[in-house]
Structure 1
Amino acid sequence: MFLLKKIHFVKATIKDKGIYIKKIMALRRFILYALLASIILSCNETDLDCSTVLCAGPPSLVFEVLANGENVFEEGIYTAQDISLSGTYPSQTEWAVNEVDLGTENIHVLIVSSFDWEELIYDFTLNIGNEYTADITVAIENSSSDGCCGGIPRIKSLKIDENPVENPYNLITLNF
């Protein structure tokens, strides 16, 4: 009789362990599916917090203007009032002469900027006094619309007197 009780106890224990293992496996599958569902559902591009992102603004053209090797703005030969533009350029284009620190020296530069750049090719002439002119062609494209900083105007290409400028975001030297 003792042996019969022992066999019955072993059968019950094995049966209980099988149920226990099935419950553990079901719980593991539930956790795995819940984890996968949360990963898939949390990847929503519209949930970006763009309030913490600082995007670059529209481009500016920065010129160092030299005549006979001398900076015409540092020598006082010309001022911002002596500058004019003609041709096609954004309606809200502004220009100013500013002193910039290049680390090793300070120089006076002409900055041409606009908040109204559109995806176009602009052809205009930069007139400095009555003596110096530079024909400028600038192609503008918008940055890709992905993420927080999409749709910002960028310089696609820049030519001065039909000569391509390799990096239009650097200081551009005009020699007259």
Structure 2
Amino acid sequence: MHKIFRYIFIFLLFNIAILSKEPTLAILRSVDTNEYQKFSIGMYEFICRPYGVVTLEELFQRAEANSLCQTSINEFYLKNHMQRYFAQNLLKNRQTYHIEFKENRCILYAKGRLSMSELLIQNGLAFKKPNFKDKEFEHSFTQSQEYAQRLEIGLFKEKIEKKCVSELSKF
């Protein structure tokens, strides 16, 4: 009987070890923009882009040259020049961050349990992707966007979402 309990215990311990998922930790090397951050894990370096959102930088790049959308984003950054450096001010080089990879993007936990995507949305520097359907993050991204819209923070104050409707439909 004692052997049976020992085997059951070893089996349970083995299953717990297999099922437990260690967090992926990466070291921040540099912050290029609110959209691009460079990380490394060991000798492997990679670029991390926020998951599930369309940043102002991405929207600017996809918009037609000299369009109302690009002009609006330029004007926004001229009025709010420190917002261009939001990620740079938030994240610290050579600091270790918990990240997850999803759909060729990163879920970067930049401030406790808050992801970089949520923080960008809350600060009016990104939109939730129009057809975003991830059960794990959809609710928190929607809440963050409603918060920024209600308080008219960042791009929602400037009504950039209305000026970039055609570009947003491409995502």
- Please indicate, yes or no, whether the TM-score normalized by the shorter chain is above 0.5: no
| TM-score normalised per structure 2 | 0.31
Larger Rg: 1
| TM-score normalised per structure 1 | 0.30
Higher strand fraction: Structure 1 or Structure 2? Answer: 1
Higher helix fraction: Structure 1 or Structure 2? Answer: 2
